[in-house]
Structure 1
Amino acid sequence: MRINHWTNGFEVVHNGKQVLCHTYDNPMLFIGTGQEDIEMYRGNFKIEDYVTERMALRTFTLKEDEGSILIDFAGMIEMRLEISEEEMKLKFKCLDDALNRFWIRLSSDEEEHLYGLGEQMSHFSLRGKDYPIWTSEPGVGRNKNTYITWRSDVENKAGGDYYNSNYPEPTYVSSRHYFVHVHSTAYSKFNFKQKTFHEIEVWEVPEEISIVSADGYLPLLEKLTAEFGRQPELPDWVYNGLIIGAQGGTERSFSILEQALEKGIKVSGLWCQDWVGKKVTSFGKRLRWNWVWDEEMYPDLPKKMKEYKEKGIRFLGYINPYILEGTALYQEGFENGYFAKTFEDQEYLVDFGEFYCGVVDFTNPDAFNWFKDIIKKNLINFGLDGWMADFGEYLPTDLKLYNGKSAMIEHNHWPVLWAKCNYDAVVESGKLGEIVYFMRAGGNGTQKYCPLLWAGDQSVDFSIDDGLASVICGTLSSAMVGNGINHSDIGGYTSLFDNFRTKELFLRWAEMGAFTPVMRTHEGNRPETNFQFYNDEDTMVQLARLTTIYTSLKDYLKEAVKENHEKGTPVQRPLFLHYDEDNNLQKLQTQYLLGRDLLVAPVYLEGAETRDVYLPEDEWIHLWSGKEYAQGVYTIEVPMGQPAVFYRKNSFYKGLFEKIGTL
C-alpha cells in the first residue's frame, strides 16, 4: 500500500488499485449529527434516524508526523494514517464532541465483490445492497414478499428482512484480497450500492478502521483470524454421531435415544433443552429460564447421564444470559444488584414473549463472575458436556449499565461478552476441548470465544431467505470473518401459520448435515405438529445411513477443524478460496467445499430430482457413481440420500471417499 499526494487531494493505492481517494469535489469523509429512535419488541428492532446535519469535509491539511501521516479535515476530524506494505490503519480523533454521525467512502470498481459482515443469511455476495450492523432476531421468513413474513410483521413485528442477523459484524472481505474492519460496536451501515465507492456509516466517530491485505484469500483469512482469534478444536466425541434434540423429560427423551440406537443411528449426544423445565406460550413450548436442573421433569438425570456417558453418549443442555422473574436465581441477582437498571435505578425487565426476565449486566465484573459461576456449578459440575448458549441479541437501548457506557454502544458488544462468559467458565474448569457449546449471536471478537456457531432459527421449509438454502449462505458469509465451524438445526426450527416440517425437508436437511462439522436435530418450536424422524421407520433407516457417512468422515473433518484452529481456513469454505481465478464462483452461495477435497451442493429446493452444479477446474469424481467430471456446469441426479457431492481425484482421502460412495 502507498499514498500519493497532490495539491488538492490524496489517494491510497494497493496493488495498483485505489483504496481511498479524497479531493475537494469528491471528499472521502462526512460528519454530522443525528437522533435515533429505537423500538424493540421481543428482540426485533425498529430503527429510525433523523439526520439533523451532514457535512462534507472538503478541505484538509496533510503532514508527516512521527512516521505516520496526520490529516486534519476542516478542523473537525483528525485522521492519522499508518501505512505498511500490507496494512493501513486509519485512526480518528473527533475535535467536536457534538458530532455523532460519521461517513467514510472507500474506492471501488464494478468488478469488486464483497463478503462477510458477520453471518448474512440471504446474500453471500454483498454488492448492490446496504447492510445495517445491529444484532437482533433474524426475522421469520425474512422476505417481505412472502405471506409468512407479512403475517409475522403484522402480528409480532417479527418478519425481518434480508439484512437481519443474529451475528452482524462490521468486517468485510474484498475480492481484491483485503479486508476492512471498523473498530466500533455502534450501530453502523455498509452501503455497497454505488459503482465507484462503498460508504460506511457509523453512529459515532470510530476509534479506528483497519484495511489489511494479502496475496490471496487463504493468507488473508489467516491474518483476519489472527486479529480476531480462532475457534478452538471440537471435542473428539462430537464426531461419533448425531446429537439428538429431544425434550419432555427423562423417560421421553431417553426413550427417543434408545429408539434411535435400536435402528442403527450413530449417536454422540442427547441434547435436552428443557432440562431446566418448560413454559408453554402461544409461540409453542418454551423453557423455564432458571438455570438449574428441573428434578421433577428430569428425575434420575445424573444417573442417566453417567450411564450413557459410559456408552460414549454425552448429555447437553441449554442456557442463556437472562433470568426469569420470580425464580430463586433472579432473586439472588436482584438482591446483589447484578441486573441492568432503568435510568431511575429500578429493575429493568425484558419481554421475551409472555414472560419477563432480568438482564445480567456483564459490564459489572461481579455480575459477570456470578453468572460464570452459575455455568460452572449448574452446568459443568453437574456433568453437562455441552449446551446451547442462546440469545445475546436482546440488550435494550433504554437501560443503564454498570460501566456507564450507552446501551447503543454496548448492544453489538453484548454477544461477545456472553460468549466470553461461557468460554471463561469452560477454560477455568479445565474443560476446553472436552465441552462444546454453540451460539447464534455474535460480534467483533466472538470468534475466539465460540467453538461452534449455529445458524439460528430457520423456518421449517425450503424458502430461500429463511429455509435450508439460507443455512449455506450464512455458513459461507460467517466463514469469511473467521467462524469456520458452523452447523444448523436439522429440519429447521420455526413453525408458524400452518408452516410445518415435512419428511422431505428433514431428510434433505439431514443429508446436508452429514457433510458438515456437526450433525444435530431439533424438534422445533411445535414438536407435535412437525415431522419427527423417530416417528417414521423409513426415516430412521435413512438417518442411520447418513450418520454412518458422517462418522466415516471423522479423520477428514478433524483435519479440517484443526486447520481452522491453526490457520483460520474454514471447514465449510467458498469455492473461490482454492480457485481464485474462476470468476464463475464469485456469487455462488448454494455450494461449498468441505475441507479441501469435497465439493458439496445440497438439495435446497422442494421436489427436486436433479441439481445443477458448477465444478471449477480440477479432476472431480462423483461420490455416488464414481463418474469423473471436468470443469463445467452439470445437471446431477439427486435421489434422496445422495446430494450432489464430488471429491478431488488426487485427494489423499480418495480411498475413504470411494468407500463412503458405496454406503
Structure 2
Amino acid sequence: MKLLSTENGFILSHKNRVIFTHSTESPMLFLGVGESNFDMYRGNFDITDYVTERLAMRQVDVETFESDEAVKAVITFKFDGEPTLKMTVSQTLEGRLKADFEAIDKKYNRFWLRVDANQQERVFGCGEQLTYLNLRGKNFPLWSSEPGVGRNKQTEVTFMADVNDKAGGDYYTTNYPQPTFVSDEKYFCHLETTAYADFDFSNEEFHELQAWDIPQYLLLDKEESYEALMENITGVFGRQPVLPDWVHDGVILGIQGGTDITYDKIAKARQHGVEVSGVWCQDWQGKKVTSFGKRLQWDWQWNSEMYPELDTKIHELKADGVRFLGYINPYVLEDYPLYKIAQEKGYLATKQDGSKYVVDFGEFYCGVVDFTNPEACEWYKSVIKTNMIDFGLDGWMGDFGEYLPTDCTLSNGVDAEIEHNKWPYRWAKIQHEAIEEAGKTDDILFFMRAGGTGIQGYCHTLWGGDQLVDWCLDDGLASVIPAALSSGLMGNGIHHSDIGGYTTLHGKKRSKELFQRWVEMNAFTPIMRGHEGNRPDDNHQYDTDEETLIHLAKFSRIFKHLKPYIKQAVILNSKKGMPVQRPLFMHYEDDAQTFEIKYQYLLGRDILVAPVYNKGELLKRVYLPNDTWVHAFTGETYTGGWVDVEAPIGQPAVFYRAESEQRELFDVIRSL
C-alpha cells in the first residue's frame, strides 16, 4: 500500500494499482441524507429514495503511520471544516487493502464512494446477475427480491406481469445480490454492508459504490492469476462443501403427487434407461392450490395423506439407490402447528407494537421466523433435524429468503431494512448447521436461490431461481448461464437450474423442444435436477412421451459418465474456490473475445459448452478460444475462432480439449 500526498488531496495505491484519487476538485467521497420507501408485494419491491442532501467531502486531513511491517493511514473527511467521516486504511495480514469507515456526524445515511477505474476495464459479479456478465456501462441496484417474470421492460410478458402482479422485474433484479465485483485486471472489491446498495459502472474514470447506510469497510485485493484471485475471494467469504457422492449418479427427478405416483414415475424412467439418483418431491408436506398454480402447505412435516407409508418407503428407495428430497423455507403457515408453536414462544417477527405480523405469499399468509433470535434459530434447526433429517430426507430446496419486509420488528433491534439483504445468509447458515450437527454434511444436499455476502461457506449449491418456461434471453434458458458465471466469480462455484424452467404464466407453456434443450445443458453442470413447474399440466414433462424419456436417458448417462471429471472440479471448488462452471476468460485471458462471451462456459478446465437457447436453432455459432477442440458428439476437431456446427436435438455444441488428461473419458460420450 502506498499513499502519495498531492497539493490538494492524495492518491492511494495497492499492489501498483491506484485505488482512490482524491482532490478538492474531484472528491472520492460523498455523504448525504435520504428517506427510503420499500413497497413490497409478494417479494417484488417498488423502491424509492428521497435524497435531501448529497454533499461532496472535499476537505481531508491525512495522518500516516509507518512501521517495518505496514503503512496505516487515517483520513478524516470534512464538510465546511467539520469532521464527517473517518476512513482508516491499512493492509491486512493476508495483504489485502482494507478501508474501515467510522461516521463522525451521525446524520448521514447515504454514502457514495469512487474507486478508480480504467477506461477499458471490464467488471463482473455483484452476486448473481442473469442479464449481463460484463457489468460495465450500467448501474446495478443490489437488493434481494423476486427477480420478476421476463425481467425486461420491453417485453409483453414483463408488461403483463407488472400490470397483474407488480412482478415484472428488470435487468438487475435478482434473488442474490452482493456488493462485490471482480475486475478483468484481476482484483476484487467488496463493500461490507447489508443496506440497499447500488454499484454504478457507467463512468469511464471511476466505479461509484452507493449504500443507504455507512458501510463497515471496503476490502480489495489483486492477484497475478484468476485461479489465485478465486482462492483469495473464497478465503474471505468461505467455500462450499463437496457435493454428496450420490448427486453425481444421475438426474434428480422433480415429481409431485404422492407415494404411488413417485414410485410409478421412477419405474417408468428406469425402464427407459434414465439414470435416477434421486427424486425431489416438493409437496412432501402437502399442497395448496391457488390462482398461481400448485403451491405447498408450509408446515414442515410429512403429510401422510399425500404420501402414505413414506416413513418406510423413503428408506426402501435409498436402499435401491434413489434419494428422496423435499422442501422447506423460512416461513410458517398461519394457524398451522409450527406457526402456533413459534407464535407462542415469541419466535416470529412482529409489528412495532409487538403484535402479530404476517406476510402475504399469494392467497395465504405466513409468519416470519426471526433468525436474529438465537432461540428461534435453534428451534428451526430442530425442526429441520427432527422432521426432515431424522425422517430420512436426503436433501431439500431451501426456498425463499428474499421476503423479509422492511417494516417488521426483529429481536436484535436492527432495522429490518438493514437485515433484509442478510436474511439469505442467516437462512443458509441455519440449514448448514442443522446438517452439520446431524453429522450429514457429506450426505445431504440442499439448494437455495437467495443469496448474499457470506453465503458461500454455508449454501451447498445455488439454483438459478424461477426461470420462465420460455426462450427469452433475460428470464429463460439463456439467463442461467451468466447467472452461474457471475455467482461463481463470487465464490459460489456450484450452480444449477430447474430443467425446463418453472414460471408458467401469461400464456407461456414449456414446450418439448425447450425441455430437451435444457436437459442437454444441465447434463453439463454440477447437478442435474428437474421441476414440473407451477402449472405441471400446462408443461411438457420428462415422461410426456417416449422420445423425451429416451432423450433424458441419454443425457443422464452422459452426466453420470462424467462423474469423475465433475467430482474433481467440485473438490477443487471446495479446496481452492475455482468454480465448476467458468467464464472462458478464466483460462484464455489473452483472447479479448472471451471476455464478451456470456452464453458459453467452461465446465472445469477441459469442456466447453455452448447451449442452444433459441427456438428452432439447428446450426449453432460457437466461439472457440485458441486451442484444439474435439466435438463431443461428432468427433470432429476444431481450432480457435468462430465456427458453425450442426446442433440437432440430442447433439448439443459441446467440445473438449484434445490435450486433456481426461481425453479417454470424453471420447466415450459419443457412444452413450
> What TM bracket, shorter-length normalisation?
over 0.9
Partner residue, 1:72:
76
Deviation digits for residues 224-263 of structure 1 (CA, Å, limit 9, x no counterpart):
0011010000001111111000101111122111111111
* 2:343 is the counterpart of 1:334: yes
Match of 1:281 among 262, 280, 290: 290
SS in 2 for 1:19: strand
Q: How does 1:194-273 map to 2 (within 5 A)?
A: 194-273=203-282
Q: Secondary structure at 1:275's aligned position in 2?
A: coil
Give the corresponding residue for 1:489: 498
Partner residue, 1:44: 44
Aligned pair in 2 of structure 1 residues 16, 325: CA closer, same or farther (>3 Å)?
same
Once the two structures are TM-superposed, the CA of residue 100 in structure 1 deviates from its matched residue by: 0.3
Q: CA deviation at 1:468?
A: 0.2
Q: Does 1:82 align with 2:90?
A: yes
2:660 alignment partner, one of 640, 651, 658? 651
Q: How big is the shift at 1:17?
A: 4.1
The aligned residue for residue 10 of structure 1 is 10
Q: Which stretch shows the higher mean deviation, 641-650 or 435-444?
A: 641-650
Structure 1 residue 16 displacement after superposition:
4.6
Question: 5 Å matches for 1:112-511?
Answer: 112-511=121-520
- Write the distance in 2 (CA, Å) between the matches of 1:19 and 1:217: 19
AA aligned to 1:552 is: H
The aligned counterpart of 2:649 is 640
Amino acid in structure 1 at the alignment position of 2:2: R
Cα deviation, residue 68, structure 1? 0.7
Letter in 2 for 1:2: K
Are the counterparts in 2 of residues 86 and 213 from structure 1 also a CA contact under 8 Å?
A: no
- SS of 1:77's partner is strand
% of aligned pairs identical? 52
Counterpart CA distance in 2 for 1:535 and 1:40 is 38
The one-character-per-residue Cα deviations of 1:383-424 (angstroms, maximum 9, x if unpaired) are: 000000000000000011000000011000000000000000
8 A Cα contact 1:2 1:83, kept in partner: no
2:528 is aligned, of 519, 540, 544, to 519
Amino acid at match of 2:246: W
Q: Give 2:231's aligned amino acid.
A: E
CA contact (8 A) 1:619 1:629 kept: yes
Contact 1:436 1:451 in 2 (8 A): yes
3-state SS of paired residue (1:211): strand
2:84 partner letter: M
SS of residue matched to 1:533: coil
| Deviation per residue, 1:281-338 (Å, 9 max, x gap) | 0000000000010011110112221111111110000000100001011111100000
How many Å separate the matches in 1 of 2:253 and 2:303?
20
Q: CA deviation at 1:19?
A: 2.1
Take 1:229 and 1:620, find their aligned partners in 2: how far apart are those partners? 34
Shift of 1:344: 1.1
Q: Secondary structure at the match of 1:91?
A: strand
Question: 1:221 & 1:387 partners in 2: Cα distance?
Answer: 28
Structure 1 residues 345-354 or 301-310, which shifts more? 301-310
The whole-number CA distance in structure 2 between the counterparts of 1:17 and 1:596 is 29
Unaligned runs of at least 5 residues, structure 2: none
- Quick one: distance in 2 between partners of 1:2 and 1:520? 50
**SS of equivalent to 1:47:** strand
Match of 2:595 in 1: 586
- The aligned residue for residue 107 of structure 1 is 116
Whether the aligned pair in 1 keeps the contact of 2:283 and 2:327 (CA below 8 Å) is yes
How big is each residue's C-alpha offset from its partner over 1:509-535, in whole Å with a ceiling of 9 and x where there is no partner?
A: 000011011100100000011111112
- Residues 613 and 88 of structure 1: is their aligned pair in 2 closer, same or farther, counting only changes over 3 Å? same
Higher deviation after alignment, 522-531 or 653-662: 653-662
**Structure 2 CA distance for aligned equivalents of residues 113 and 635 of structure 1:** 27
Code of the residue aligned with 2:383 in structure 1: it is I
Question: Take 2:482 and 2:585, find their aligned partners in 1: how far apart are those partners?
Answer: 14
Find out whether 1:534 has 2:543 as its counterpart.
yes
How far, CA to CA, are the matches of 2:647 and 2:244 in structure 1?
A: 32
CA contact (8 A) 2:15 2:222 kept: no
TM norm structure 2 = 0.98
Q: How many residues matched? A: 663
Distance in 2 (CA, whole Å) between partners of 1:578 and 1:118 is 21
Hey, what's the Cα distance between the residues in 2 that align with 1:51 and 1:662? 63
**Superposed structure 1 runs of 4+ greater than 6 Å apart:** none
Q: Is the 8 A contact 1:11 1:21 kept in 2?
A: yes
Deviations 1:15-40 (Å, cap 9, x if unpaired)? 55432110110000000100001100
Aligned partners of 2:14 and 2:97 also within 8 Å: no
Cα distance in 1, alignment partners of residues 520 and 539 from structure 2: 18
User: Which whole-Å deviations, capped at 9, do the CAs of 1:95-132 have from their partners, x for residues lacking one?
Assistant: 01111000000111221000000000100110111111
User: Does the Cα contact within 8 Å between 2:86 and 2:103 map onto a contact in 1?
Assistant: yes
Q: Secondary structure at the match of 2:654?
A: strand
Measure the CA separation in 2 of the matches of 1:555 and 1:247.
31
Cα shift at 1:582: 1.2
Listed one character per residue, the Cα deviations across residues 39-92 of structure 1 (whole Å, up to 9, x for unaligned) are: 000000000000010100001111114741111111111111114795211111
Residue 623 of structure 2 aligns with which residue?
A: 614
Q: Normalization by structure 1: what TM-score? A: 0.99
Tell me the equivalent position of 1:35.
Answer: 35
Contact 1:113 1:174 in 2 (8 A): yes
Mean CA deviation greater in 298-307 or 407-416? 298-307
Alpha-carbon distance between aligned partners in 2 of 1:15 and 1:581, rounded to the nearest angstrom: 21
Contact 2:171 2:474 in 1 (8 A): yes
Distance 1:483 1:503 in 2: 31
What is the CA–CA distance in structure 2 between the aligned matches of 1:515 and 1:126, rounded to whole Å?
Answer: 25
Aligned amino acid, residue 168 of structure 1: P
Q: Aligned-pair distance for 1:617?
A: 1.4
Q: Which letter maps to 1:653? A: Q
Conserved? CA contact 1:508–1:604, under 8 Å = yes
Cα displacement (A) at 1:662: 2.5
Give unmatched runs, 5+ long, in structure 1.
none
CA distance in 2 between counterparts of 1:105 and 1:405 reads 28
Letter in 2 for 1:48: T
Deviation per CA, 1:613-649: give whole Å up to 9, x if none: 1111111111122222111110111011111111111
Q: CA shift at 1:13, angstroms?
A: 3.0
Alignment partners' CA distance in 1, 2:338 and 2:57: 53
Q: Secondary structure at the match of 2:102?
A: strand
- CA deviation after TM superposition for structure 1 residue 12, in Å: 2.3
| Equivalent in the alignment of 1:22 | 22
1:416-442 Cα offsets, whole Å, 9 max, x none, are: 000000000000000001000000001
Given that 1:32 and 1:102 are in contact with CA atoms closer than 8 Å, whether structure 2 keeps it comes out as yes
- Give the stretch that moved more between structures: 553-562 or 250-259: 250-259
The answer to which of 531-540 and 500-509 deviates more is: 531-540
Which secondary structure does the structure 2 equivalent of 1:534 belong to? coil
- Match of 1:310, as an amino acid? A
- Give deviations 1:196-216, integer Å, cap 9, x for gaps: 111011111111000111112
Is the contact between residue 265 and residue 547 of structure 1 (CA under 8 Å) also seen in structure 2? yes
